[in-house]
Structure formats: structure tokens, C-alpha cells
């Protein structure tokens, strides 16, 4: 199954964005950033691909810095990066 993962530079930005996205009825899941994307102890938000454009609009509106939005596929060994959104 494919998902979008929103990757942040800081934990605080991830927590703030999670709260705002949930307030906008976007189902998100707080996850550790996959090592294939960023080799640090950062956290990310996982959500459905159908919400990518809405999420982009919201995070631009609230001006939260982020590394990127990645399309990933969940595998037995973790996440495989398909592309960048």
C-alpha cells in the first residue's frame, strides 16, 4: 500500500502540524522518519495520497518548514521511497 510521508526538520514542527491537520479532518499518523529518507531521529506524519494537495496548502498557509513530502510503499522491511511530491 502506498502512502505520503511528510518529513520535518524538528519534532516540534511535526507535533504542531499534526494538531493542525487533525483539526482540518485529515487522518495522520505520527511515525519515526524512515532511514531511507532521512538518517536522523526525526519524526514524520503519514497520511493518504489523496490528501497531498490539501496538506501542501495547509502547511504553506501556516508556514511550517519541512524537508519534503514523499510517496512511499510499505514493505516487509520498512518503507520504499517511490517519489517526492
What average pLDDT does the structure give for the chain? 89
In the predicted structure, residue 5 carries a pLDDT above the cut 90: yes
The predicted pLDDT at position 69 comes to 95
Q: For residue 44, which of 75, 64, 68, 25 has the smallest C-alpha distance?
A: 68
* CATH 3.30.70 fits domain 2-84: yes
Cβ neighbours of residue 33 closer than 8 Å, sequence gap 6 or more:
5, 7, 40, 42, 43, 44
Q: Which residue has the higher pLDDT, 53 or 10?
A: 53
Tell me, what's the pLDDT at 58? 95
pLDDT given for residue 15 in this prediction:
94
* CA atoms of 44 and 7, how far apart (whole Å): 5
> What are the backbone dihedrals phi and psi of residue 62, each rounded to the nearest 5 degrees, phi first?
-95, -5
Whether the CB-CB separation of 4 and 46 falls below 8 Å is answered with yes
**What's the mean pLDDT in 2-29?**
94
DSSP class of 77: T
* Residue boundaries of the structural domains of the chain: 2-84
Indicate if the pLDDT at residue 41 is higher than 90: no
Amino acid at each position: 500500500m502506498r502512502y505520503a510521508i511528510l518529513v520535518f526538520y524538528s519534532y516540534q514542527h511535526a507535533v504542531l502540524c499534526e494538531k493542525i491537520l487533525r483539526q482540518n479532518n485529515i487522518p495522520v499518523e505520527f511515525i519515526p522518519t524512515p532511514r531511507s529518507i532521512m538518517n536522523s531521529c526525526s519524526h514524520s506524519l503519514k497520511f493518504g495520497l489523496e490528501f497531498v494537495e490539501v496538506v501542501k496548502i495547509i502547511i504553506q498557509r501556516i508556514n511550517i518548514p519541512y524537508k519534503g513530502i514523499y510517496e512511499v510503499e510499505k514493505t516487509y522491511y520498512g518503507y520504499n521511497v517511490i517519489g517526492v511530491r
